[in-house]
Each structure stands twice: as structure tokens, then as C-alpha cells.
């Protein structure tokens, strides 16, 4: 952001604000993070930009879910899904499915069937796109749900092949979480 301001690259400032806001929000300063994300989105929309907008809306929705704003999160994710269909930009489609499932579960712990459908859609979409990390994320969300239902064998059968397909990146949060779930079952 500093380089963009210094060099006059105004088009990159909203992107920086969005990602910085998400990071600040995930570290616990939800109001400050949400404010930056909203500001970045307003700036992008004012410029008519739609590229990457589903991704940025997903970041906003994730922070809203974390903050207990479940309806707002689901509305944001609906907007992201609509944009995916409208623009054909499917880069973050699998994650949008997963986030919908997470928001539904956070809102209503009894929404297992809805969440499972979302997680499976995320896995299928990521698989079709060859997006292994996004498939692992959705599978990990589904595995947590199944683990709570005593479906340990299904958790292992789902996660082990996905996790085993990675040869690097084992220090990333997504792979660490999948590994921890698998270790619980050993």
C-alpha cells in the first residue's frame, strides 16, 4: 500500500486495503479489519471493478461470520455466488461454497445437512478445477462435521488421500489442520 501511494498506483490501494483488513480482522481486530475491507470494496465498486470481487466478498463474509454477523455473511456470499455466475470468474467458487457451509453451521449448529451439501460442493468444484488446497479446505470442514458425528472412518477416508497428495507446504495452516484431524484418528 505504501508503494502504491508513493508511486501513484491508485488501482492497487483498494486491493491492499482489502487484504490488510482481512488479516487484521483474522488477528482479532474485527471492527478495524471490517472497516478496511468495506473501504476497499467501496473503492473497487466506485471504479466499476468486478475482477476478483467474488474473492474479496468471500474475505468480507469470513470476517462477518467470525464476528457473528451470520445473515450479513450469507448475504455477502450470495452476492459472491451471483458474481461468479455473472462473470464466469470461478477462482474462489469452491471456497465460497465452503464459507457458506461454515456460516450456516455457525448460525445454526443443527444445519448439518445444509453445511455438508456446501462442503461437498466445495470439494467437487475444487476437484474439477484442480485446486487441491481448496479441496482440502472443504474436506477439512466436512471432516470436522463428520468427526462430531462419530464418522471417524469416513473422515480418514476423505482426508488421508487429499493430505497424502501434497509433497510440500506442510507448515501451512490448512495442511496442519488436516494433519491434526488425521492424527486424532490414529
| Rg of the chain in Å (alpha carbons) | 17
Q: For residues 107 and 75, is the Cβ–Cβ distance under 8 A?
A: no
**Residue 49, pLDDT score:** 86
Question: What does the domain layout of the chain look like in residue ranges?
Answer: 50-185
Q: Which pLDDT belongs to residue 186?
A: 82
Angle (CA) 174 29 101, round 5°: 45
Domain at 50-185: CATH architecture: Alpha Horseshoe (1.25)
Could you tell me the pLDDT band of residue 4, with boundaries at 50, 70 and 90? Answer: confident
pLDDT, tens only, 169-184: 999 999 999 999 999 9
Residue found under cell 476423505? 158
| CB contact at 8 A, 18 and 36 | yes
Q: How many CA atoms lie within 13 A of 23 on its CB side?
A: 6
The pLDDT of residue 138 is 98
Residue 16: the pLDDT is 95
What span, in angstroms and rounded, lies between the C-alpha atoms of 141 and 91?
19
Give the cell for residue 101: 457451509
CA 10 to chain centre: 27
Residues contacting residue 74 through CB under 8 Å, at least 6 positions apart: 61, 100, 103, 104, 107
What pTM value is reported for the model? 0.94
Q: Which of 8, 121, 7, 102 is nearest to 64 (CA)?
A: 102
Spatial separation of the C-alpha atoms in residues 76 and 159, rounded to whole Å: 29
Of residues 105 and 4, the one with the higher pLDDT is 105
Amino acid at each position: 500500500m505504501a508503494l502504491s501511494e508513493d508511486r501513484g498506483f491508485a488501482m492497487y490501494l483498494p486491493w491492499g486495503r482489502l487484504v490488510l483488513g482481512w488479516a487484521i480482522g483474522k488477528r482479532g481486530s474485527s471492527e478495524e479489519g471490517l472497516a478496511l475491507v468495506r473501504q476497499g470494496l467501496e473503492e473497487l465498486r466506485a471504479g466499476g471493478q468486478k475482477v476478483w470481487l467474488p474473492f474479496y466478498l468471500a474475505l468480507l463474509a469470513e470476517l462477518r461470520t467470525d464476528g457473528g454477523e451470520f445473515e450479513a455473511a450469507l448475504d455477502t456470499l450470495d452476492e459472491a455466488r451471483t458474481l461468479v455466475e455473472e462473470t464466469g470468474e470461478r477462482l474462489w467458487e469452491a471456497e465460497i461454497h465452503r464459507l457458506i457451509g461454515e456460516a450456516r453451521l455457525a448460525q445454526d449448529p443443527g444445519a448439518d445437512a445444509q453445511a455438508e451439501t456446501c462442503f461437498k460442493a466445495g470439494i467437487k468444484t475444487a476437484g474439477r478445477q484442480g485446486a487441491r488446497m481448496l479441496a482440502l479446505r472443504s474436506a477439512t470442514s466436512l471432516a470436522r462435521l463428520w468427526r462430531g458425528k462419530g464418522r471417524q472412518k469416513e473422515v480418514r477416508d476423505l482426508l488421508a488421500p487429499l493430505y497424502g497428495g501434497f509433497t510440500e507446504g506442510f507448515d501451512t495452516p490448512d495442511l496442519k489442520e488436516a494433519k491434526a484431524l488425521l492424527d486424532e484418528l490414529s
